[in-house]
Amino acid sequence: DETIRELAKERGRFIGTILNSEWFNDAIEPEFEEIHKTQFNVVVAENEMKFDATEPKEDEFNFEKGDKMVKYAQANGLRVRGHALAWHSQVANWVNDYKGQKEKLLAVLKNHITKVVGHWKGKIAEWDVVNEAVNDDYNADWRSTNSVWYEGIGAEFLDSAFVWAHEADPDAELCYNDYSIEWGLREGSKASFVVEQVKRWKANNIPITCVGTQTHIEIAHETTPQNVRALAKALAELGVTLNITELDIGFSKGSAGKLTEADYAKQGHLYRQFMDVFLEEPNMGEFVIWGLTDAHSWLDEQQGKTEGLLYDKQYNPKPAYDSVMASLKAH
């Protein structure tokens, strides 16, 4: 049978999912690996390239798990998305010793970005340079609490992060990545705020090349594919690509075991719409799903949601898989 990967390749497109070394005791489960590498041409490390994983002690770097993934990707011709350099979450504990010390924090972040991006220079096609720096409020603004970077440095940490990443690997695509920006471009919305910042970055020659919309949604979020289309068009005017970086379309956990064919069909329909938008918008670069099978997903572990992916717990393709294939065949 044809695979997503084959159809993506014919169309020159990048479609992928994450891997997490912990699910497999640091080895990739054979069944997972087989599906992943035959169906996809992109891989993202779920946790292994984050700050706490790569710099657990100050200026002592650990690239072992990330290296394994890069090796797997190279052996199988997969593109690697790097995730994530400057984020308020999963920062190593030692960084908090420097809370509020602007110059020290700038030096810490610069060293981190320079060494991590430098280590994988030429091997990681694209980095999430800054992740989730905008708050959740309706009147969107920078996330000003619980962020050691913003509280200590101010918004200039974002600008600098892009500059340092670009210096460390001038060929890498550099993204701003966030959630809830698939909710649409309205006054005061997170998406609009991000577009305004992209404008400012471009005007100031900050080397941003892409935005990532995470897109962790639910079956009821029917307008989100068209919101993503509008965002792709708005960013095209600024010369910045849009990627779908963490798609999952979950059901509430209470519905587990009670889901009907119609529910799975509805999920498939939404997946199809996202894939249609991705294939129709020339300004979209990558399409990444935040997991491969419902047997391993942050939705169950942390979100009170379930079954948001293309493969079920037995590793069988779901109607959503067929919908994605149908979209590819139609484009």
The dihedral region occupied by 294, where left means phi > 0, alpha psi between -120 and 50, and beta the remainder, is alpha
SS3 assignment, position 190? helix
Cα separation, 241 vs 113, in Å, equals 22
Residue nearest to ligand G3I (CB): 298
Which CB, 52 or 167, lies closer to ligand G3I?
Answer: 52
The verdict on 14 binding ligand G3I (CB under 6 A) reads no
Residue span 242-281 as binding mask against ligand G3I, x where in contact by CB under 6 A, dash where not? ----x-----------------------------------
User: Looking at the DSSP assignment, which residues form a beta bridge with residue 286?
Assistant: 14
Residues between 227 and 246 that touch ligand G3I (CB under 6 A): 246
Q: Are 201 and 156 in contact (CB under 8 A)?
A: no
Which CB, 131 or 243, lies closer to ligand G3I?
Answer: 131
DSSP E strand boundaries for the chain: 14-19, 42-45, 79-87, 126-131, 173-178, 210-213, 216-218, 241-252, 284-289, 305-306
Catalytic residue among 246, 281, 286, 307: 246
Residue span 80-99 as binding mask against ligand G3I, x where in contact by CB under 6 A, dash where not? ---------xx---------
Q: Are 242 and 213 in contact (CB under 8 A)?
A: yes
Q: How far is the CB of 131 from ligand G3I (least distance, A)?
A: 6
The verdict on 156 binding ligand G3I (CB under 6 A) reads no
The verdict on 298 binding ligand G3I (CB under 6 A) reads yes
Q: Are 151 and 144 in contact (CB under 8 A)?
A: yes
Q: How far is the CB of 69 from ligand G3I (least distance, A)?
A: 14
Cα separation, 45 vs 43, in Å, equals 7
Say how many CA atoms lie within 13 Å of 49 toward its Cβ: 31
Which CB, 37 or 50, lies closer to ligand G3I?
Answer: 50
Amino acid at 322: D
- Known active-site residue 29: no
Residue 266 in tokens: 């509805």
Cα separation, 169 vs 9, in Å, equals 25
Q: Total number of residues binding ligand G3I (CB under 6 A)?
A: 9
The verdict on 47 binding ligand G3I (CB under 6 A) reads yes
The verdict on 146 binding ligand G3I (CB under 6 A) reads no
Please give the residue ranges that form the binding site for ligand G3I (CB under 6 A). 22, 46-47, 89-90, 131, 214, 246, 298
